[in-house]
Amino acid sequence: MRDFTSYVRRHLQRSSLPDDDARARRYDDIVEELASELEARYTSRLQRGESEEDAWNAAIAQIPSWPALAHDLQLAGRELSQEDNRTSFRRWRRLNPFIADRWTRDLRLGFRVLWKDRGFTAAAIVTLAICLGGHAAILSAVNATLFHPLRVPEPERIFLMANQYPRMESQRVGLVSATPDYEDRRQHVAALEDQAMYNFSDGTIESAGIPTRVRGIVGTPSLLRLLRARPAYGRLFIETEGIIGNDQTIVLTDGLWRELYGSDPAVVGQSLRLSGRDLTIVGVLEPGFSFGGPDVRFYIPFAFTDRQRSDEARHTNGWYSIGRLRSGATIEQARAQLSALDAANLDRPPAMKPLLQNAGYFTSIEPLQDVVVRDVRGPLRLLWGAALVVLVIGMTNVAGLVIARSRTRLSELGTRLALGASRTDLLRQLVVEGMIVAWAAMCGGVLLAYWLLSSFRASFLAGREAPHLDLLTVAITAAAAALAGALIGSTAALPLVTSTPGALLQRGRRTDTRGRASRATRRSLVVVQMACAFVLLVGAGLLWASLRNLLAVDTGFKVDGVITAAMSLPNHRYTTADDTRGFVNRSLETIRGLPGVAAAGATTIVPMGGNYQSGIIVAEGYIPKPGEPAVSSIRIGVTPGFFEAVGTPLVTGRYFDERDNDPGSTSIIIDERLAHRFWPGGDPIGRRMFRPENPRQLLTIDANTRWLTVVGVVGATKLRGPATEEVTTGTFYLPYAATAPRDFGYVIRSHAGTATVIGELRPALASLDREAPVFDVRTLEERTALSLMSRTSTMRIAVLFAVVAVFLSSVGLYGTLSYLVAQRRREFGVRLAIGSTPRLIVRLVLREGLVLAVAGVLIGAMASVAIRSLVSTQLYGIAASDPRVLAVTAVSLAAVALLASLLPAQRATRVDVMKILNAE
Amino acid sequence: MSQVPEEHSLKKGTAELLVLAQLEDEARHGYDIALRIEQRSSGAVSFNVASLYPILYRLEAQGAISGWWVERAGQRRRRFYKLTAAGRKKLLQQRQVWSAFMAAVQRAAGLEYA
C-alpha cells in the first residue's frame, strides 16, 4: 500500500493553507481527507484489475496542480473568514465605499450598463435635469430675493418704521414717515442703536457728454453707517453733512465710479455735477455693496430744512425711516418705545389730535427685509411650490422608468446573484448606476438653471438684485440629485433585498403574472403625477385668467396711441414756480406742434407709473360722522390737455382749459367716486372744496380758507395700473400751475403712430433746454404691461411648469400603459383568440388610462381646493376654486391622457395571437 | 480584493448545485459524490479531487453541509457529508435559479421552440 498521507503532506505545505481561519479544519485533517480521497480512487482501480503503477498514476493525476489546489482552498477559506469575522479589516475594506479600485470598476460597469440602455438613461437624465434645473432657478430667486433681500451685514436687525393711519381709506399700508419723526425717534427709541431716513432721488449726470438719468438715494449721513457700508476709497458721510450748506457731497457706488471715472482712485475730492449742482466726491463704496436695488448708483446727504424739522411737517410722510436694533434689545422694546412716542406726539400740533385719533394713528415697525419682499413673496412661494411639484413628478416618472426597467434587470440580477455575486456587490452596482444618472442630471440641471436665470431675471424681478445661481442652491440641487440617485438605485434594488434569486428570475419573466405589486405601484405613481399636473395646470389657468381679467380692466384711460415721458428740470436754473410753468407751457406748445400729436398735457403723476400722492380733501358743508376719519384721496396736478390726451371721459362740467394755466386758478376736478362720496345724487359743479395745508386749517374755516370750485367730474381711473387696489375715495385733480413742481411727466395722444412722435419728442425738447433731459419715454400701453410684468412673468413661469408637468405625467402614463400592455400581452392574445375585436382591446386600454387620469384629476381637484388660499392672493377677478377653470383643466388633462393612452392601446391589438398561444 | 470572474462563478455555482444535489437523499463521501455526478451525467461532467475538494471545503465552511469521519474495519477512515437545513434551502434555491436560467437560455437561444 502506498502512503498517500505522506504524499499529500509532501505536496501541500502547511504554510500554503489559510491561516487566519478560526473554523478551518486543521492541516492534518485536510491532509488526511485528501489522502483518503486519493486512496479510495487508487483502491477502486486496483479492484478493477489495474496495475499498481497505473492505479497510482491515475490517483495522483486527480490533483494535477498542488499550488492551484492550495489557492482554491485559500479562496474558500478567505470567503469563510470574511463571513465569519465581521470586524476584520477585510470586511471593512469590502464595505468601505472609498476604496478606489472597487469604485472605478463599478463606475466602468455602470457606464457600460447605462450606455447599453441608452433610452432609459437619456429619459431619466433629461427628466431629472429639467425638474432639477427649474427648481434650482426658482430656488436661486427665492434665496436671493426672499431670504437675502438686503445685501448688508446683519440685515435681520434693520427695521422700518412708518406712520400708519389704518382708518383712513387711502392709506392702507404706509411705508413712510415724516421728517420730524427722525429726531424724535433718535431721542426716544433707545432700542435702536442707529437710525436713518432716506428716499430715492433721481439725478442727471453728464456721462461722456450725454446727460443721463441716474438713480440714487438721499439719506441722513447716518444711513451708510447704519447699513455698515465700507468705502473702498475716501470716506462715508459725516454727521455735519446733514446740515444745509455742508451737504454738497456725494458718495459713489463702485459701479458708477467705474462707469464715470474708469476706476480712477484719484476721484475722491473731485467735483461731480448732479442735476446742475456741483458736488464733491467724498467716497467710493466697496464693490458688492448694494441697497435699494441695483439701480441705486449714488448717495447724497439729506439735510433737513427748518420747515422739515418743525411740527408743521408732521404727517407729511414721504421718507423711509429705518433703525438698527441694538444688540440685546428686542423689537418689542422698540415697539413699546414707539407707541409711547406716538402718545406723547398725539397733540403735536394740538389740532391734530382728533384727526389722528379718528385715523387710528400709530407707528409700525417691522423688519425691512419683510417689507422689501412683500410684493414678490406670494408669487415666488407659488412658483417654488410649483417647481417642487414638478420635481416630485419628475422623480416619480424616473421611479416608474426604473420599475419598468427592473423587469429586464431582475433576470440579470437574479442570475448574477445565483452565480455567486454577493448582494452587497449588486446593491452597490445599482447605487452607482443611480448616482451616475443623478450626477449627469445635476450637471444638466445646474446648466439649465443658469440659463433660465439669465433669461428670466430681467423680467421677473425688475428693480431687484438679479439672482445668481448660488452655492446653496447648487448644494441643494446636488442633494436632491443624490436623493434621486439613491431612489433610482434603491427602487431597482428593492427586489434584491426582498426576494430570493429564483423569485427574481421568475419575476423577470415577461409572462409571469406575479408583478402585481409593481403594477400597483406604477398605477399609483401615475395617479400622483396626474394629480400634481392637475394642480399646476389649475394654478397656471387661474393666473392666466387673472391676467386676462386685468388686461380687460377699464383703467379709465384710453391707452392706444398715448405716449408718456418724464422730465426733471434742474433746480439751479428753474428756481421758481414761474420758471417751471414757463418751461412747461413752452414745451407743451412745442409738442402740440409736432406732426401727429392730437393732444398733450403735463401731469405731476404719470399714469401706470406705480407712484401716487394723496392728500386730504374737504367739501364745504360736509359734516363727517363722529369718529369718521378725514377723506384722503389721490391728488394729481395736471395741465389743460391732460384728460384729452389720456382719454379720461368727462362726466359733467368741463376739463381744465387756458384759464387754469393761471397760478391763481381755483378750479378743481374730481372723479365720480369722490363726487359720490361728498354729493351722492347731487351735482357737484360749482360746489366748493378745500385742501387743508396743515391740520389747523382742517378744523378752522375762516376768511383765509382758500376755496376751490369744482368745475368738472371725470370718470374714475386706476392711476397706478389695473392690478392696484382701488383707492375707494377717488381722485382729485388740481391745475398743475398751482404748484408747478420741477418733476413732472408728459402725456401725449398721437394719431399718427407712437413711434414717429417718440422719435421727434427728444430733439424737440432738447431744443428748448438741453440740460433738461426727457426720460422714461414709453407708450401708456407699455406702462400698463410693465405694471403687470411681475404677474405676467409669474403666469408664464407657472404655465411653463404646468406644461412640463403635464408632459411628464403623460409620458408617465404612456410608459405605465405600455408596461401594462406588455405584461398583459398574453391576456390580449387570448381575448383576441376567443373572439374579442381590436376595437374592444383598444377600449380596454384606453379605459385603463382614463381611469388613472380621472383618479388623478379627482385627487388633484381636491388638492386644488384644499390649497386655494395659497394662490388666491395672486388672483384677480376669479375665485381660486373657479369651476370653469377646474372643468377646463380636467377635460384637457383627460384629453391629453387619452392621447397618451392611444399608442399603447393600439400596440395591444398588434399581438401575434398564434405566437402567444404557442408559447403557452 | 479578488473579484471572481464570471466564468468562474458560473462554474462555481454549477459545481455547488451538483454537489448539493448528490447529498439530497443520503450522506456520501467525496469519491462517492464524484462517481455519482459522473454516472448521472453519463460521463459528461466529472470532478477530480482537486476541483471537488475545495467545493466541499467551502460548502462546509458555509454551513451548507456537515462532515464527519467514519471508520470501518479494514478500511481507511473516510469523511462523509450530509446536507444541513441551510444546505437543503440552498439546493432548492439553486434549483429554481438554474431551471429559470436554463429556460431563459433555451428561449433566448431558440432551443425550446421555434
**In this predicted structure, what is the pLDDT of residue A447?**
92
Q: Which residues pair with A750 in a beta bridge?
A: A597
Residues of A in contact with B1 (CB under 8 A): 90, 93-94, 101-102
What is the rounded distance in angstroms from the CA atom of residue A630 to the CA atom of residue A596? 44
Q: Compare CB distances from B12 to A36, A420, A509 and report the shortest one's residue.
A: A420
State which amino acid sits at residue A798: A
Q: Which residues pair with A210 in a beta bridge?
A: A207
What is the rounded distance in angstroms from the CA atom of residue B107 to the CA atom of residue B97? 15
For residue B6, pLDDT over 80 is answered with: no
Q: Residue ranges of the alpha helices (H) in A499-565?
A: 501-508, 516-552
What is the rounded distance in angstroms from the CA atom of residue A617 to the CA atom of residue A532? 52
Q: Which residues contact A516 (CB under 8 A, 6 or more apart)?
A: none
What is the rounded distance in angstroms from the CA atom of residue A785 to the CA atom of residue A578? 36
User: What's the alpha-carbon Rg for chain A, to the nearest Å?
Assistant: 41
Pairing of β A632-638 and β A731-735:
parallel
Q: What is the pLDDT of residues A405-452, one digit of tens each?
A: 776 677 777 777 766 667 777 788 888 888 888 899 999 999 999 888
Q: Compare CB distances from A419 to B3, B10, B55 and report the shortest one's residue.
A: B10
What is the rounded distance in angstroms from the CA atom of residue A567 to the CA atom of residue A768? 13
Q: For the CA atoms of A273, A275, A277, A283, what is the dihedral angle to 10 degrees?
A: -50
Q: Which of A741, A706, A616, A666 is nearest to A316 (CA)?
A: A616
Residues of B in contact with A101 (CB under 8 A): 1
CB A583 within 8 A of CB A288: no
User: A552 is written with which cell numbers?
Assistant: 380687460
Q: What is the DSSP string of B27-70?
A: -EEHHHHHHHHHHHTTTSS---HHHHHHHHHHHHHHTSEEEEEE
* A501 touches B at CB < 8 Å: yes
* A486 touches B at CB < 8 Å: no
What is the rounded distance in angstroms from the CA atom of residue A182 to the CA atom of residue A322? 9
Q: Compare CB distances from A64 to B1, B50, B54 and report the shortest one's residue.
A: B50
Number of neighbours of residue A263 by Cβ within 10 angstroms: 13
**In this predicted structure, what is the pLDDT of residue A333?**
93
Helix axes A471-498, A118-141, angle to 10 degrees: 140
Residues of B in contact with A505 (CB under 8 A): 96-97, 100-101, 104
Please, what is the Cα angle at A322 between A319 and A323, to 5 degrees? 150
Burial grade of B55 (CB within 10 A; 0-12, 13-18, 19 or more): buried
HEC secondary structure over A273-289 = EECCEEEEEEEEECCCC
* Window A:48-77, CB contacts with B under 8 Å: 61-65, 68-69, 72-73, 75-77
Long-range contacts, stretch A348-357, CB < 8 angstroms, 24+ apart: A348/A311, A348/A314, A349/A311, A349/A312, A349/A314, A349/A694, A349/A695, A349/A696, A351/A695, A351/A696, A351/A698, A351/A699, A351/A700, A352/A314, A352/A315, A352/A695, A354/A699, A355/A629, A355/A630, A355/A695, A355/A698, A355/A699, A356/A165, A356/A315
CB A309 within 8 A of CB A150: no
Q: Which residues contact A803 (CB under 8 A, 6 or more apart)?
A: none
CA distances from A608 to A404, A420, A463 (A): 55, 75, 16
What is the rounded distance in angstroms from the CA atom of residue B65 to the CA atom of residue B88? 9
B46: left (phi over 0), alpha (psi -120 to 50) or beta: beta
Residue bearing cell 486496483: A46
Backbone angles phi, psi at A30, to 5 degrees: -65, -45
Pairing of β A277-285 and β A249-252:
parallel
Q: What is the pLDDT of residues A353-367, one digit of tens each?
A: 877 888 888 999 999
What is the rounded distance in angstroms from the CA atom of residue A695 to the CA atom of residue A358? 13
What is the rounded distance in angstroms from the CA atom of residue A173 to the CA atom of residue A375? 12
**In this predicted structure, what is the pLDDT of residue A728?**
60
State which amino acid sits at residue A450: Y
Q: Which of B6, B68, B65, B2 is nearest to A74 (CA)?
A: B2
Q: Which residues contact A435 (CB under 8 A, 6 or more apart)?
A: A110, A482, A485, A486, A489
User: B35 is written with which cell numbers?
Assistant: 462517481
**In this predicted structure, what is the pLDDT of residue A88?**
46
Backbone angles phi, psi at B85, to 5 degrees: -60, -40
Residue of A nearest to B15 (CA): A419
Spans in chain A with pLDDT lower than 50:
22-23, 82-92, 510-514
Residues in chain B: 114
**In this predicted structure, what is the pLDDT of residue A207?**
67
What is the rounded distance in angstroms from the CA atom of residue A108 to the CA atom of residue A422? 19
CA distances from A778 to A565, A761, A786 (A): 6, 11, 10
**In this predicted structure, what is the pLDDT of residue A26?**
67
**Alpha carbon of A850: minimum distance to chain B alpha carbons (Å):** 35
What is the rounded distance in angstroms from the CA atom of residue A761 to the CA atom of residue A763? 6
**In this predicted structure, what is the pLDDT of residue B5?**
35
Number of neighbours of residue A81 by Cβ within 10 angstroms: 20
**Alpha carbon of A410: minimum distance to chain B alpha carbons (Å):** 12
- Report the SS3 class of residue A749: strand
For residue B1, pLDDT over 50 is answered with: no
Q: Compare CB distances from B54 to A23, A69, A421 and report the shortest one's residue.
A: A69
Mutate to test the interface with B, among A29, A33, A44 (most CBs of B within 10 A): A33
**In this predicted structure, what is the pLDDT of residue A516?**
64
- Interchain proximity A24–B49, CB inside 8 Å: no
What is the rounded distance in angstroms from the CA atom of residue A828 to the CA atom of residue A850? 19
CB A577 within 8 A of CB A729: no
Q: Which residues pair with A544 in a beta bridge?
A: none
DSSP designation for A556: S
Residues of A in contact with B94 (CB under 8 A): 418
**Alpha carbon of B3: minimum distance to chain A alpha carbons (Å):** 9
Number of neighbours of residue B87 by Cβ within 10 angstroms: 23
**In this predicted structure, what is the pLDDT of residue B3?**
35
Q: What is the pLDDT of residues B65-77, one digit of tens each?
A: 988 888 887 778 8
Judge if the upstream peptide bond of residue A349 is cis by omega within 30 degrees of 0. Answer: yes
- pTM (2 d.p.): 0.70
Q: What is the pLDDT of residues B61-113, one digit of tens each?
A: 888 898 888 888 777 888 899 999 988 988 888 888 788 777 777 777 766 55
Residue B71 half-sphere exposure toward CB, CA atoms < 13 A: 2
First to last CA, chain A: 61
Backbone angles phi, psi at A491, to 5 degrees: -60, -40
* B104 touches A at CB < 8 Å: yes
**In this predicted structure, what is the pLDDT of residue A309?**
87
**In this predicted structure, what is the pLDDT of residue A22?**
44
What is the rounded distance in angstroms from the CA atom of residue A842 to the CA atom of residue A523? 18
- Interchain proximity A72–B50, CB inside 8 Å: yes
- Interchain proximity A501–B30, CB inside 8 Å: no
What is the rounded distance in angstroms from the CA atom of residue A462 to the CA atom of residue A790? 8
Q: Which of A566, A608, A391, A552 is nearest to A483 (CA)?
A: A391
State which amino acid sits at residue A855: A
* Window A:377-416, CB contacts with B under 8 Å: 411, 414-415
Q: What is the DSSP string of A753-792?
A: -HHHHHHHHHHHHHHH-TTS-EEEEEEHHHHHHHHTHHHH
Please provide the average confidence, as pLDDT, over all residues in chain A.
Answer: 83
> What is this model's ipTM?
0.84
**In this predicted structure, what is the pLDDT of residue A817?**
84
State which amino acid sits at residue A410: L
* B30 touches A at CB < 8 Å: yes
What is the rounded distance in angstroms from the CA atom of residue A889 to the CA atom of residue A541? 8
